[in-house]
Amino acid sequence: MTVLVGAFSGEEGGFTLDRVRALGEETPLRALRESVLLSLLSAAIGAVLGAVLAQLVLSAPPTSVVRRVVTSLCGVLAQFGGVTLAFAWLATLGFGGLLTELLARTIGTSEAGFAWLYELPGLVLVYTYFQIPLMVIVFLPALEGLRPQWREAAVNLGATPWQYWTRVAIPLLRPAFLGSALLLFANAFAAYATAAALVSQGAPITPLLIRSALTSEVVLGQQDFGFALALEMVVVVAVVMALYAWLLKRTSRWLR
């Protein structure tokens, strides 16, 4: 409610649309575009690789050590973010990082070649690190919901494994997969600490632009512009989560 009121309140307390109109300026539009692109790329990569890993985990017996270790690691890594994750990547691939120095000594690469880590491609890579285990956690129950009887029925009717996956399993898993991908999108779109620690200069994404709005007296000629930016993020996340809830409802029809 505070964000909603602040986005439409003037400097003297009256109603105004100036802050909302300012969202159409070049800087917030570019930040929104970069945030959406970052979320889409990290969610797509995390969803595909996470789904494959979840299927590999499911192929192991429920009591196997490998399955329990992988699921436990995914539970930990899905929450491993923020400054700690950014520092880990900086210490590995950043300027003066361990792998950077090793490659420079062995094959003569330049540190300038790793500048992408501090830009959008670097954020996609770092975000994927916690998107993949999150996908395993949220998508594994859907895979477990595939009943063995469905595979047996398809085989008895003469279907090949490829036909079973393309005509039975994948259509059934599609709502759960898309819903999990939307959850990953919202997770990346709202992430702040990792990007703040990795990208110290500028504001390439909306959460960092909100930080600039909160720490600056005037942004784009307006005070308290962060309320409008926060409202923009709330609207995007609300739409994504509404779609996620709809897909989850469709998935629950056959998971019961």
As a whole number of Å, the end-to-end CA separation of the chain is 37
pLDDT value of residue 185: 94
DSSP 219: B
**Each residue's pLDDT tens digit, 85-96:** 888 888 888 777
- Residue 191's pLDDT is 87
SS3 label, residue 15: strand
The number of helices, as runs of H, and strands, as runs of E, in the chain is 13, 0
CA distance 47 to 63: 25
pLDDT at 127: 93
CA distance 172 to 143: 10
pTM of the full structure: 0.86
pLDDT (average), residues 46-74:
89
Q: What is the pLDDT, as a whole number, of residue 100?
A: 78
- Render pLDDT for 206-246 as a digit per residue (tens, 0 to 9): 888 888 777 765 544 556 777 888 888 888 989 998 888 88
Asked whether residue 67 carries a pLDDT value surpassing 90, the answer given is no
Q: Is the dihedral of CA 142, 147, 152, 158 positive or negative?
A: negative
Closest CA to 117 of 156, 153, 91: 91
Buried/exposed code over 158-169 (b: 16+ C-beta within 10 A; e: otherwise): ebeeeebbeebb
Burial zone of 214 (CB within 10 Å; 0-12 exposed, 13-18 middle, 19+ buried): middle
